[in-house]
Structure 1
Amino acid sequence: MSKRRKKVRGNPARQARPAEPTSQPGGLRGFRQARREGRDTSTAPQRRDEVRGGYLSEANRRAAEGADSNPHLLLYSLLGLMVLLFAYLHLYALPQMNYFAGGFSMPDARLFGYSVEDIERLRNVMDSDGTGQLSFLHRTAGILFPLSFVLSAWAVVGLVMRRGVFRWMVLAGAAIFAVVDITENFLIDQILTMEPLEESLVAVSSAFTVTSWALLMIIGAVVIGSVVMSLISRGVERA
């Protein structure tokens, strides 16, 4: 009787299969194992939930987009605060002060400066309550607005504008505006209450007012324009 080997019957799953290469652990475990084995740690396998088919997983992609948008949310918040303070100071509060000045506009609102005659006219119609209200406005919104302008320019320079000398010029211009504008507020308070009135101080205060308005319009246009261009370019890239 010939002896033949019988075919192996049974569950095919139990039959021997070619061994598959074991995947190396990823994440921190893979990094430690690569370091123990003396391999290059920069090529340590990543976690499977981090990369799928060469692309970040959906959760990590959303997290990356959120990390990128958080600084821009801060930027937009600072810009919104700056616009609100500007509207309150120059479009609401200062026009309201005309009531204490017999209908005459405040020196802060005069883009082209003012003369000694203009200040004398204000001094004749404004009482101590009016000058006190203007001084209080200068020490609150008159300081907060220039500071918010500097912070907004700093955020735009750091997050939107490209590296170069120009962005430092923009930031320096914003800082100079803040110093000039705050100094102008104190000079106006002084020339409205000092006795006697000094013409040289009026000329200096008027020059500070014109300079602050010029810097505000130039630097403000650059800051707002940079943000608008950045939003347009981001929209084009996403499209």
Structure 2
Amino acid sequence: MSRKSGKRRPQQSRRPAPSRPQRPGHRRVPAPAQQPPRQPASNPGLILLAGFCAALLLFWYYHLLVLNQLTGLSAGLAMPDQLIGGFDAAHVQALRAAMDADAAGQLNYVHKTAGVLFTLFLASATLLAVALHVRRRVLRWVLFAVPLGFAVVRLWGQAAIDALLHPEAAGSPVDAGDVALASALTVAGWVLLFGTVALAAAVVLASLARSFRRKHTEAGID
């Protein structure tokens, strides 16, 4: 028997398989990575702008158009909503004598439609502006009181005016207490209206100023 040699044969190194020649003009295109579908991001600024534009349009329609047209049904007497300084019992009595049931019903309808919509749009847009642009929580809740108070006082005042001019109340004497309440609510509603508009303008302008300063700081402009 032949003895096996103690020497081991050197193992042949495997050569890498030659790559297949690519056809001219043929390129491997990597498979695109799957990306999650993009969801449309809501822009609160657009919602805010739409709310203020709607409130401005409703103010024009309610105060400058419809209530002025109703003076044609009241012998030229102004509607109580238009009197910024308030009104007295004599004005209410004159309106009762000049306005019939249809005219009082039209004023009530205007209050429930344009009056309510204008109040809610302006108050909601101002609340959104404060919530978006006021960072301090305590200050934010304090500022919320202005548009909320405007909404409550305005709607309450409109209801008080409708109660004074209701056809069933036309034959009874004017209650001085009810007139004083409706007049005070009307004056307070105008004051809170101006306060709400001033608050909304101040909050938006302050936010724009902060954005302007931040962009200048990031750009390195002194």
CA deviation vs aligned residue, 1:170-191 (integer Å, no higher than 9, x gap): 2122112111111111111111
2:151 maps to 178
Which segments of 5 or more consecutive residues in structure 1 lack a partner in the other structure? 1-13, 15-46, 50-62
Deviation at 1:237? 4.2
1:18 maps to none
**1:69-84 matches, cutoff 5 A:** 70-84=43-57
Say what the alpha-carbon RMSD is for the aligned residues: 2.7
TM norm structure 1: 0.68
Deviation at 1:136? 0.4
Aligned residue among 166, 169, 177 for 1:200: 177
Greater gyration radius: 2
Q: Is the 8 A contact 1:72 1:159 kept in 2?
A: no
Aligned residue among 164, 169, 175 for 1:191: 164
Q: Which amino acid aligns with 1:75?
A: L
Identity percentage over the alignment?
Answer: 36
Q: Is the 8 A contact 1:160 1:226 kept in 2?
A: yes
Aligned counterparts of 2:173 and 2:104: Cα–Cα separation in 1: 16
1:220 maps to 197
Aligned counterparts of 1:133 and 1:236: Cα–Cα separation in 2: 51
Deviation at 1:111? 0.6
Deviation at 1:238? 4.3
Matched, 1:99 2:72: yes
Instruction: Describe the SS at the equivalent of 1:140.
Output: helix
For CA contacts below 8 A with separation 6 or more, give which structure has more relative contact order. Answer: 2
The structure with more helix, counted as a fraction of residues: 1
Matched, 1:140 2:113: yes
Deviation at 1:155? 0.8
1:209 maps to 186
Deviation at 1:197? 1.9
TM norm structure 2: 0.73
Deviation at 1:113? 0.4
CA deviation vs aligned residue, 1:183-218 (integer Å, no higher than 9, x gap): 111111111131232111000000000111111111
Which segments of 5 or more consecutive residues in structure 2 lack a partner in the other structure? 1-18, 20-32, 217-222
1:159 maps to 132
2:7 maps to none
Q: Which amino acid aligns with 1:100?
A: L
Tell me which stretches of 4 or more aligned residues in structure 1 moved more than 6 Å. Answer: none
2:141 maps to 168
Aligned counterparts of 1:90 and 1:228: Cα–Cα separation in 2: 26
